[in-house]
């Protein structure tokens, strides 16, 4: 399939820094942001015909992209939007590019309970499912009914939670060459909209007072090595405020790295490695990253 045969605008050498919450990263060799399932399928076919690698990104909220950029085609799903509420069953189907926080607010406004925890999550629905994202005691696995997926060769499949091997901040989708295009969730209907909306707003304010929303960051950097907490280990090791270049361990929350301005991806990566080494040497704990690195470091 030639580019002229698609409905897509596929551009070359597009900077990715502004498409990540950390505001770092080089350029995509090729880039597109489809607005429909048809455009998405066409982009995949175009890349497959050219035998070039494909990288999928959403809101870029848990990504660290190399300063060298990404080879092949980068597909950004943030424009795949749409939400459908079934008011009789309490089920909601949302497209992969829907912001999780926006969906959480809409669910609360319906008076449906069970998604209040998601209001402060900065990513998209697709990423929520893939990494089993969660906060404040809740996670995607708690409310997922099914996920619509598309393989990199264009095959569609409906997948159910029992097939996803959900565990803490991970799922089988992280290692599968499948793109989540939409997901269906089920919530508890019949609640008091004002009370649930107030609880949702309170949870959002709590996150804003304990996390560095005022500076570019990629969310929690490390998974908690349960029953311990990554932030506590990092803080106890004296690493709060430690910096390499303009990348710094947040003074507000030790499991966040912030971009103080014009930081480089290599500095953030080096800081992550320094934290891992320090915690391993001092406590014998191996920290696993929650943030996903893409490209050559």
At 173-198, the pLDDT tens digits run 998 889 999 999 999 998 898 999 89
For residue 223, is it within any domain? no
Residue 5's pLDDT is what? Answer: 55
The answer to whether residue 1 scores a pLDDT higher than 70 is no
Whether residue 88 is found in the same domain as residue 192: yes
Whether residue 106 is found in the same domain as residue 61: no
For residue 220, is it within any domain? no
Whether residue 27 is found in the same domain as residue 106: no
Spell out the residues 6+ positions from residue 154 whose beta carbon is closer than 8 angstroms to its own. 41, 44, 45, 48
Q: Tell me, yes or no, if 2 is annotated catalytic.
A: no
For residue 215, is it within any domain? no
The pLDDT tens digits of the residues spanning 203-246 come to 888 888 889 999 999 999 999 999 999 999 999 999 999 999 99
Residue 4's pLDDT is what? Answer: 53
Residue 7's pLDDT is what? Answer: 59
For residue 222, is it within any domain? no
Rg of the chain on CA atoms, in Å: 19
Whether residue 7 is found in the same domain as residue 90: no
Q: What is the mean pLDDT of residues 88-92?
A: 96
Selecting among 33, 148, 169, 171, the annotated active-site residue is 169
Whether residue 245 is found in the same domain as residue 134: no
Question: Could you tell me the CATH number of the domain that includes residue 67?
Answer: 3.30.43.10
Q: Are 24 and 67 spatial neighbours (Cβ–Cβ below 8 Å)?
A: yes
Whether residue 71 is found in the same domain as residue 87: no
Whether residue 27 is found in the same domain as residue 146: no
For residue 130, is it within any domain? yes
Hey, what's the torsion of the CAs at 205, 211, 214, 216, to 10 degrees? -140
The answer to whether residue 3 scores a pLDDT higher than 80 is no
Q: Tell me, yes or no, if 207 is annotated catalytic.
A: no
Here the tokens at position 32 are 């597109």
* Residue-number span of the structural domain to which 270 is assigned: 230-294
The answer to whether residue 72 scores a pLDDT higher than 60 is yes
Q: Are 287 and 281 spatial neighbours (Cβ–Cβ below 8 Å)?
A: no
Residue 206's pLDDT is what? Answer: 85
Give the confidence band of 143 by pLDDT, cuts at 50, 70, 90: very high
The answer to whether residue 161 scores a pLDDT higher than 60 is yes
For residue 167, is it within any domain? yes
Give the confidence band of 35 by pLDDT, cuts at 50, 70, 90: very high
Q: Tell me, yes or no, if 282 is annotated catalytic.
A: no
For residue 43, is it within any domain? yes
DSSP letters, 222-275, are B---TTS-HHHHHHHTT-TT-EETTEEE-SS-TT-EEE-SS--HHHHHHHHHHH
Of 210, 238, 272, the residue that ends a domain is: 210
Residue 8's pLDDT is what? Answer: 67
Q: What is the mean pLDDT of residues 15-33?
A: 97
Number of domains into which the chain is organized = 3
Of 30, 46, 76, the residue that ends a domain is: 76
Q: What is the pTM of this model?
A: 0.91
Question: Could you tell me the CATH number of the domain that includes residue 197?
Answer: 3.30.465.10
Whether residue 163 is found in the same domain as residue 51: no
Selecting among 39, 98, 148, 290, the annotated active-site residue is 290
Of 25, 49, 76, the residue that ends a domain is: 76
Residue 12's pLDDT is what? Answer: 94
Whether residue 119 is found in the same domain as residue 89: yes
Whether residue 197 is found in the same domain as residue 88: yes
The pLDDT tens digits of the residues spanning 238-268 come to 999 999 999 999 999 999 999 999 999 999 9
The answer to whether residue 277 scores a pLDDT higher than 70 is yes
Whether residue 176 is found in the same domain as residue 105: yes
On average, the pLDDT of the chain sits at 94
Whether residue 177 is found in the same domain as residue 276: no
Residue 204's pLDDT is what? Answer: 87
Question: Could you tell me the CATH number of the domain that includes residue 244?
Answer: 3.90.78.10
Selecting among 220, 223, 282, 288, the annotated active-site residue is 220
Distance CA 35, CA 236 (A): 46
For residue 225, is it within any domain? no
């Amino acid at each position: 399939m030639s580019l002229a045969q698609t409905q897509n605008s596929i551009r070359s050498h597009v900077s990715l820094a502004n498409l990540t919450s950390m505001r770092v990263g080089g350029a995509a060799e090729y880039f597109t942001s489809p607005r429909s399932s048809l455009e998405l399928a066409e982009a995949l076919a175009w890349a497959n015909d050219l035998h070039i690698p494909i990288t999928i990104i959403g809101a870029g909220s848990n990504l660290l992209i190399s300063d060298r950029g990404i080879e092949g085609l980068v597909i950004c799903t943030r424009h795949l939007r749409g939400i459908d509420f079934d008011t009789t069953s309490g089920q909601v189907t949302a497209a992969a590019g829907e912001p999780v926080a926006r969906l959480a607010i809409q669910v609360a406004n319906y008076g449906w309970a069970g998604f209040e925890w998601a209001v402060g999550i900065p990513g998209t629905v697709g990423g929520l499912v893939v990494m089993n994202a969660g906060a404040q005691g809740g996670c995607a696995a708690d409310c997922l009914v099914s996920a619509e997926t598309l393989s990199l060769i264009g095959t569609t499949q409906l997948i159910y939670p029992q097939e996803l091997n959900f565990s803490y901040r991970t799922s089988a989708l992280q290692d599968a060459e499948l793109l989540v295009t939409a997901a269906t969730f089920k919530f508890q209907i019949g609640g008091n909209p004002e009370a649930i909306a107030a609880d949702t707003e309170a949870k959002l304010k709590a996150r804003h007072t304990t996390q560095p929303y005022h500076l570019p960051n990629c969310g929690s950097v490390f998974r908690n090595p349960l029953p311990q907490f990554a932030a506590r280990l990092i803080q106890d090791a004296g690493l709060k405020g430690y910096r390499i270049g303009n990348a710094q361990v947040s003074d507000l929350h030790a499991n966040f790295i912030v971009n103080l301005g014009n930081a480089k991806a290599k500095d953030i990566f080096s800081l992550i490695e320094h934290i891992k080494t320090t915690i391993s040497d001092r406590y014998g704990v191996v920290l696993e990253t929650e943030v996903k690195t893409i490209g050559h470091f």
